[in-house]
Structure 1
Amino acid sequence: MGDLNLWPSDQNHSLVTSKFHDPLGKALTPFTYKANRYGNPRNARIDFIMGNEQAVVTNLDTIHTYASDHYPVIANVALDFSTFSMMHYTINHGANAAGAYNLSAIENEIRNSGADIISLNQVDINFSSRSDYDDQIDLLATRLGMKRSFHATLDKEPDAGSNGKRRKFGQAFLSKFPIESIDDGTQLRWIYTAGATTSTPQGLFGAVININGARTRFYVTSLSTDSISRLQQAYEAKERIAADPLPVKMLSGNLSDIPGSIPLNILQPVFSDAFAGMGSLAFNYPSGTPAKTINYILYSGMLQMQQASVRTSQASTHRPIVTTIKLQ
């Protein structure tokens, strides 16, 4: 809020309102400037109060007093610290639908979604030339200004291109909210025993994210494309998550199976599906012309799903999915 010295019709107003909501939009009134006692016309709205999704500004108006050459601006503000948005994205180590590596496209998709918490599958750290030996989670977190936490499901010796660094592949969280430290025992890293000896073992990664004081457990996982291993992994995930004492939990990931399949039914007593009943509107794979749902955001506890959507991006072989959630 303040005297921004710009009109609502200016380009700079559009830049500001890309991040903050102006309840009056492009309206030039009520005038806020040249409200002085010498008879000059009130001819500009250059004083503003704006809010983001956690601070909804309404009923903005001016108070007609000549104590300054600006009118004071007053508004109602409704603070909401219980609503957040979450994205799950299987990023295919940064390769798009055409097979070209472009991590910046993944970054832009996350940024443009506005999501507060992002779970990621298929993330590379110094892995190989397929991803330019990038530390993808470090690059994404730095560029997006988010906290991060990573779980390696595959950890390999350095090679000639990794500059002595271990080569890792796995899953991760990005968050605008604090991710509680691994040292306090609130994070869980698990490699499934089913399929553990294959070239691409799968795992379950849990972290506590503090959403404005509400400690909430988030899990991300990827299940095997092999049907037998996938079934056993679903049982392992259910057992470990059911033992979690925190009452509010979310599970997201590439579960490699469709709604109503046995692995999804195994998880169903613990979780509900944020995209339940959406049918083909929830299709998210492959990204070019989605034909099925294999990426999910599931929830348990005092959570209310307010909106769920699939973004039409081909920056990966999977489309990202986004939900808006309210903590009850």
Structure 2
Amino acid sequence: MSEKQVEANVPVKIMSFNIAHGLGMDGRVNLEKTALVIEGADADIIALQEVDRYFSSRSSFVDQVAWLGGRLGMYTAFGANLDMDPVRTGHPRRQYGNAILSKYPIKYVENHPLTPVPSDFGNNEQRGVLEVVVEMKGNLIHVFNTHLALKEEELKVSIDELLSLTKQCQLPHVLLGDFNAPPDHEGIGRLNRSLTDAFLKVKKGDAYTYPTRYSNPITGESYKPATRIDYIFSDDQLQAVGAAAIETAVSDHLPISADFILETAKTPVLPKAPSALQKI
């Protein structure tokens, strides 16, 4: 790739969405509704959390990554944090984790398991961060998509590992996903000292993302967003110029998006491919 092909001052729209395997607040799984929300946001790169791939009957054993990629006409990448034997011999493995959709080619994919901190109480689910590099108009953009644990001790360890990963990155990069921590959490503060929270940059830090606004027609219970636990962070090569939480009831989280300007075009250099690199 020659430098003549590299454009500067490129607008980039990036989205993060915990889709809860397509489970809406009405108690029904409807991946088409999820796709419509993603389509309506018109983002260039979309990071998804809680994605099923042949996982179970709850999502009809659908490969949600392939389904969404085909429905939206996008490139896809997936990181399985849960990887289990199939129900029947010869069937695909049952997987659950994070995915990335992109309008532009994905050149590099690696899934990093985060260090678990087991406890006798709560969920000991394996967590991870999906790393991809997207080629957009000659520029390479590094994307790190994660879904962190609720346990305080594990959050601390995971954030240390996320900072270690992003500090090694020389390309323009974003770190985004469901962090399961509010803005005043110590770990979020550490992330803000190394990266820029797009919502704070454009003065929309009160854009709450959880839970979704919803009124249950049967019980009469009402819910409304009460905290912000979903984030989009970037380095200084991506300048945030807009951010929004998107009102919808197709998941228990609101999706978020941020508009950036990639101001500095650099000669793109891919990371050194590890042995675990998924071939594209």
| Normalised TM-score (structure 1) | 0.70
Larger Rg: 1
- Structure-1 separation of matches of 2:16 and 2:155: 19
What is the aligned partner in structure 1 of residue 4 from structure 2?
none
What is the aligned partner in structure 1 of residue 276 from structure 2?
none
What is the aligned partner in structure 1 of residue 94 from structure 2?
167
Does residue 114 in structure 1 map to residue 42 in structure 2?
yes
Conserved 8 A contact 1:195-1:202: no
- Structure-1 separation of matches of 2:176 and 2:170: 19
Counterpart amino acid of residue 189 in structure 1? N
Counterpart amino acid of residue 250 in structure 1? V
Counterpart amino acid of residue 312 in structure 1? E
- Structure-2 separation of matches of 1:115 and 1:243: 26
Structure 2 unaligned regions, length at least 5? 1-6, 214-223, 264-280
What is the aligned partner in structure 2 of residue 225 from structure 1?
150
- Structure-1 separation of matches of 2:11 and 2:170: 23
What is the aligned partner in structure 2 of residue 138 from structure 1?
66
- Structure-2 separation of matches of 1:266 and 1:80: 30
> CA-atom RMSD, angstroms?
1.8
Q: For 2:157, what is the secondary structure of its paired residue?
A: helix
What do residues 126-165 of structure 1 show as CA deviations (whole Å, max 9, x unaligned)? Answer: 00011111100100000100000000011000014x9611
What is the aligned partner in structure 2 of residue 64 from structure 1?
none
What is the aligned partner in structure 1 of residue 105 from structure 2?
178
Counterpart amino acid of residue 74 in structure 2? M
Q: For 1:236, what is the secondary structure of its paired residue?
A: helix
Does residue 327 in structure 1 map to residue 241 in structure 2?
no
- Structure-2 separation of matches of 1:177 and 1:240: 23
Corresponding residue pairs, total: 242
- Structure-2 separation of matches of 1:167 and 1:266: 35
Kindly state the Cα deviation for residue 269 of structure 1 after the two structures are TM-superposed: 2.5
Conserved 8 A contact 1:89-1:318: yes
Q: For 1:268, what is the secondary structure of its paired residue?
A: helix
Cα separation, partners in 2 of 1:99 and 1:320, compared to 1, 3 Å:
same
Kindly state the Cα deviation for residue 211 of structure 1 after the two structures are TM-superposed: 1.3
- Structure-2 separation of matches of 1:259 and 1:211: 31
Cα separation, partners in 2 of 1:255 and 1:314, compared to 1, 3 Å:
same
Kindly state the Cα deviation for residue 279 of structure 1 after the two structures are TM-superposed: 3.8
Conserved 8 A contact 1:230-1:263: yes
Kindly state the Cα deviation for residue 215 of structure 1 after the two structures are TM-superposed: 0.8
Q: Please list, as runs of the form range in 1=range in 2, the aligned pairs for 1:58-137 lying within 5 A after superposition.
A: 82-137=10-65
Cα separation, partners in 2 of 1:290 and 1:167, compared to 1, 3 Å:
same
Does residue 253 in structure 1 map to residue 177 in structure 2?
yes
Specify which of 201, 204, 214 is matched with residue 278 of structure 1.
Answer: 204
Counterpart amino acid of residue 127 in structure 2? Q
- Structure-2 separation of matches of 1:260 and 1:298: 15
- Structure-2 separation of matches of 1:199 and 1:156: 15
Specify which of 230, 241, 255 is matched with residue 295 of structure 1.
Answer: 230
What is the aligned partner in structure 2 of residue 71 from structure 1?
none
Give 4+ residue runs of structure 1 displaced > 6 Å after superposition.
none
Counterpart amino acid of residue 212 in structure 1? K
| Normalised TM-score (structure 2) | 0.82
Q: For 2:106, what is the secondary structure of its paired residue?
A: coil
Kindly state the Cα deviation for residue 104 of structure 1 after the two structures are TM-superposed: 0.7
- Structure-2 separation of matches of 1:89 and 1:253: 7
Kindly state the Cα deviation for residue 80 of structure 1 after the two structures are TM-superposed: 8.6
Q: For 1:134, what is the secondary structure of its paired residue?
A: coil
- Structure-2 separation of matches of 1:203 and 1:218: 13
**Larger relative contact order (Cα-Cα within 8 Å, sequence gap ≥ 6):** 2
What do residues 279-314 of structure 1 show as CA deviations (whole Å, max 9, x unaligned)? Answer: 43x101001211100001110021111110111011
- Structure-2 separation of matches of 1:178 and 1:255: 26
- Structure-1 separation of matches of 2:198 and 2:190: 16
Counterpart amino acid of residue 115 in structure 2? T
Kindly state the Cα deviation for residue 195 of structure 1 after the two structures are TM-superposed: 3.4
